[in-house]
Chain A
């Protein structure tokens, strides 16, 4: 066991070092894309806690991405001198609270009922964002979120109008959260979720509180989605209803499936492919969404494992030693 684990640690360390050095050898456009990939990875991984690990197919995950994005944006706009990191944390927390409330109604349902309820709540929040102009700016959205002054983190000052400080803020937050999330999947609670997905009746008769466990993972997933949304708001320096609409809910499903929902890394890979692919294809044709749709159909029909399934198992195992144990 020792050998593969050492290799995994080495591989992940190299990946992290490369990410931290990336701004030095990437141009502005590519750095921006990497930032997008980073927060969408967090979003897609949050989705996979629900679907891949919990077996809960949600059609309304943008509700939490949007809650996080709007909370951060509104706090930064309305409270003078609001510390940015606090506004980000609040984004995650408000999304988690939304997760508790929405989850309370959804997790008792299964399959299509669960999916439709999440969709309904997403639509409800979207309508709020659309109509409650005083708070959200409606279709004009909220801009100018990033503080004018560099933010002081004690050891460093980050001027978020520069690309590099923005890059490091996003990358570090995403890496910390991805690391913690990965650990969760390896913990007893992560195992409880897998067991409940595998056979909820048996799990209940072994003492697992199925409803409470599902509510917890739903809330945790909402929290992660909210953090991703918060990063999105800061990087874009703008939030509008597109952060909370159904297209965003569809996009996260697509990213997760594209990479593969059977592993932790799948959705991360999926986000990277999605961002690069849409960037490339939208440069070629106006009808790129159509092509995306066709791709999704092919994916679901023929590549159930997602793109990660195309990577040779040996190579995959370097990044994921101990997956499934």
Chain B
């Protein structure tokens, strides 16, 4: 049984067609990478799945429930959370408060007015656990907006993971990183998403082939190929359209 099923998805932005009939199936425990050249529609697929935009046509099923057109907060509460390509954190809050926002939401403390936040020991402990996992515990009192880029990216992933999602969508987690930062981020992702279902949009082929056990290639709004990494590496269409390009650069 698939945890996520995208059926025949179309999206146009006031006439500009971005996706034409995209199908995507993700099984529980799978680590699925979506690759494709710039403008292929990768981020749009993510934005449709997570409710940022509504599809023009098509269906999205999460845990067999039709979530097409659901608002983002509803989808997040169902156990599907995402990270963003452009870092999207609470810049004016501390690192600790950032992660705590996610932990509070996950524990359904969104509207509680009776508890005194700084005395909620369970929330604090859970928040610090996550901070330790993303190696930001020592920086917990720093303002998120003042962190180095690499640390902000780790926090971005941490916010996503703090929701303890059943399905994790990571949108180019290594965007704008140096080779060294990329390596450590890949280790981080590998570590904290172990055994979890993951869909990752990525540009860096080394990252993709390290993390993914299934790859979907998106090319100008359509699926070009989908399969295990070896199949994709040997696929002539993919080579022509995409991988070849990379190597020639």
Contacts and interface: CB of A to CB of B under 8 A. Distances in A.
Interface of A: 183-184, 186-192, 194-195, 198-199, 201-210, 213, 216, 322, 325
A204 B72 CA distance: 6
A192 B111 contact: yes
Main SS class of interface, A:
helix
Given A202-B88, A205-B72, A191 B117 contact: yes
B110 interface: yes
Interface range on chain B: under 10, 10 to 19, 20 to 34, or 35 or more?
A: 35 or more
Contact of A199 (B90, B113, B163): B90
A14 B100 CA distance: 34
A135 B109 CA distance: 43
Given A188-B104, A204-B71, A198 B92 contact: yes
Nearest to A180: B113
Contacts of B77: 207
B75 to A, nearest CB: 8
B7 interface: no
B82 interface: yes
A224 to B, nearest CB: 14
B43 to A, nearest CB: 14
A207 B111 contact: no
B133 interface: no
A325 B124 CA distance: 12
Contacts of A194: 93
Given A199-B89, A204-B73, A322-B118, 15 more contacts: A187-B114, A187-B116, A188-B109, A188-B117, A194-B93, A195-B101, A199-B91, A202-B89, A205-B50, A205-B72, A206-B76, A207-B76, A208-B73, A209-B73, A213-B111
Which of B77, B81, B113, B159 has the most CB atoms of chain A within a 10 A radius of its CB? B113
A186 B88 contact: no
Contacts of B113: 183-184, 187-190
A190 B104 CA distance: 12
Contacts of A199: 88-91
Interface in B104-152: 104-106, 109-118, 120
The 3 tightest CB contacts between A and B, nearest first, are A188-B109, A207-B76, A207-B105
Interface in B60-89: 71-73, 76-77, 81-82, 84, 88-89
Contact of B159 (A202, A209, A216): A202
B112 A189 contact: yes
B102 interface: yes
Contacts of A198: 90-93
Contacts of B116: 183, 186-187
Contacts of A190: 113, 117
15 contacts: A188-B117, A190-B117, A191-B117, A199-B88, A201-B88, A202-B89, A205-B50, A205-B76, A206-B73, A206-B102, A207-B106, A208-B110, A210-B73, A213-B111, A325-B118
Contacts of B114: 187
A206 B89 contact: no
